[in-house]
Structure 1
Amino acid sequence: MPRAAVIVNPTKVPDLELHRTEVTAELAKHGWAEPLWLETTVEDGGHGLARRAVDEQVDLVFACGGDGTVRAVIHGLVGSGVPVAVLSVGTGNLLAQNLALGTSLAEGIATGVTGRTRVVDLGVIDGEMFAVMAGIGLDAAMLESTTEKSKSRFGALAYVAGALSRLRDRPIRVTLRLDDGPPFTRRARMVLVGNVGRVQGGLQLFPAAEPDDGRLDVLVLAPYGLRDWLGVAVRLLTRSPREDRRIERFTARTIRMDTTRPMPRQYDGDLIESGVTTRIMVAPKALLIRVPADAAR
């Protein structure tokens, strides 16, 4: 009888015992054994637990938490040959949204045990892996200003409030080098590097992004005032392909960003130490993930 591990962030689940009962029951419906149940802690956000699950020779690992939990579990599974599935809880779940992994518990379990395995890329920022996006500037500053309490109370709207509170931050002077190309400098509000395209609210920042194309997508946003911000918002909402000094998009396998002052940085919703130099690269075909059987290839 096949067996899964469930790695859950207990802070993201209102009734942990009920959740465990429901997960076990759903797995039993599909003929799977009682799962190995592992809860994240401050000391181990999922990486070490994923390695433990691999050592226990499970057939599948479910990551149950926000984007940070999913990222940590994924990092622990890289190179193991064990696929991951995602049970959506928390305020982010951007990987689940981008790959249409389902939003209900029943959908998530069914995708894990009856779906197909897709091989996808990951990004690496200063040695840490991410599945969705990493960036410097406004998006990281937004996370700095968004508390766990506000996320719990307002959900995705908490991020909007966090972003609005940082709109007056000074722009970044950043020099970028993509692959082996020549360096170029921009005065931007943020630079995002994405493995997939969609963020909170279904907004498509990278309409052409594919998580298995061996490349990362780069977005440079440089609005200077209210009119510029409105123009950027309209173009992003309408998925306009037009680019100018306010919006530029690139693709690359390696990205280096150098700023004139330490900038806040994030990957998959987790903050990392501010810095002046950020190196990002793609890790091709690094992850096995379960997606719906009828999902587009």
Structure 2
Amino acid sequence: MDDTPLPREAVLVVNARSRRGEAMFKRARDALEAAGVRLIAAHGLRDPSHMAPTVRRSVQAGAPMVIVGGGDGSLSGTVDELVGSDCVFAVLPLGTANSFARTLGLPLDLEAAVAAIANGRRRRVDLGVINGDYFVNSASIGLSPLIGATVPHGLKRYLGRLGYLIWAVRCFFNLRPFRLVIDDGNVEHRLWSTEVRILNGRFHGGVELSETAEVDSGRIMIQAVTGRSLMRLCADWYAKFFKLRDRDAHTQEFVASAFRIDTRPRLRISIDGEVLTRTPADVRIAAAAIEVAVAAD
């Protein structure tokens, strides 16, 4: 971890359409300025498609730090704009699962997250890359893309993780096992699976799915729920949610710097909650790609 203090000037960009974004934008702006972070500009955007261009313009204008408020999808959708720059990426966890904030050890409370930005330190972390698209935390094949492609926005916005759970149960009955091929450049692995997680960190959907996946390891993890039984998938989520001793009994993990993934049939891939691509997919790690703001301790 770098002991260099974080910049005291920043641009704030908040997804005001996210579950808590609209209510939190003004509160975040006031809290940051009260904590001594001078805001060069503050944008509360109701159209998420405007977030990446706004961050791009801020980085190009020389902003020393960009603070993005929203869920994991908002973070992944904007992080590409900071790769190759000296701009620090800071996170206000205003989403449903906030998996990237959990991976970084950031507090999920707004005031505590602001304090981490105002008094924290820099940390250089990896990003995952799927078919050329950078992502901060995780991607998934199986149930998550079914949910992400069909969940009504209102259900997600007003019920949060409970809404995801309700919709997950509905989508579960449309899920089918698939043939999975994982090629790490040396060995080709073939197996049946019901869900695949591509992890740059420990969390996916707000649940800790791996104790060993690290955001600064220089390697990416593929975790496959093996077999053809949907009940095995349920058992895996149950075991990991409650952190049972046998929570890794239903999965197989592969770790490398790059993979080629294919499925039969071709399936959609959700990247930090947003359905953005399909198999086959080239997966790799972009080691030490950006600097992020983390708590001092």
Q: CA deviation at 1:214?
A: 0.3
Residue equivalent to 1:188: 193
1:284 paired residue number: 287
Matched, 1:200 2:205: yes
Paired with 2:99 and 2:235, the residues of 1 have a C-alpha distance of: 25
Match of 1:85, SS?
strand
Which has the larger displacement, 58-67 or 217-226?
217-226
Is 1:153 aligned with 2:158?
yes
Q: Cα 1:238–1:88, aligned 2, differ >3 Å: closer, same or farther?
A: closer
For structure 2, list consecutive stretches of 5 or more residues without a partner in the other structure: 1-6
Q: Which residue of 2 aligns with 1:50?
A: 55
- Shift of residue 240 of structure 1? 3.7
Which deviates further from its counterpart, 73-82 or 19-28?
A: 19-28
**Counterpart Cα distance in 2 of 1:74 and 1:157:** 27
Provide the C-alpha distance between the structure 1 equivalents of 2:142 and 2:37, rounded to a whole number of angstroms: 45
TM-score scaled by structure 1? 0.88
1:1-30 superposed Cα distances (whole Å, 9 cap, x missing partner):
9421011112126684x7454334323333
Q: Deviations over 1:179-232 (max 9, x none)?
A: x2221211111111101112335x221111110000111110135446534542
Letter in 1 for 2:120: G
Assess if the C-alpha contact under 8 Å between 2:19 and 2:96 holds in 1. no
Hey, what does 1:65 align to over in structure 2? Answer: 70
Residue 11 (structure 1) aligns with: 17
Residue among 15, 38, 41 paired with 1:36 = 41
User: Unaligned stretches of 5+ in structure 1?
Assistant: none
What are the residue-to-residue correspondences of 1:195-234 with 2, within 5 Å? 195-201=200-206, 203-225=207-229, 228-229=232-233, 231-234=235-238
8 Å contact kept, 2:15–2:48:
no
User: In structure 2, do the counterparts of structure 1 residues 242 and 268 end up closer, same or farther at CA, with 3 Å as the change threshold?
Assistant: closer
Q: CA deviation at 1:162?
A: 2.6
What CA deviation, in whole Å up to 9, does each residue of 1:124-166 have, x standing for no partner?
A: 0011011110121222112223221111222112222232223
Cα distance in 2, alignment partners of residues 13 and 152 from structure 1:
4
Counterpart amino acid of 1:221?
V
Query: 2:247 and 2:99 mapped to 1: Cα distance?
Result: 25
Percent of aligned positions that are identical: 26
* Helix, strand or coil at the partner of 1:166: helix
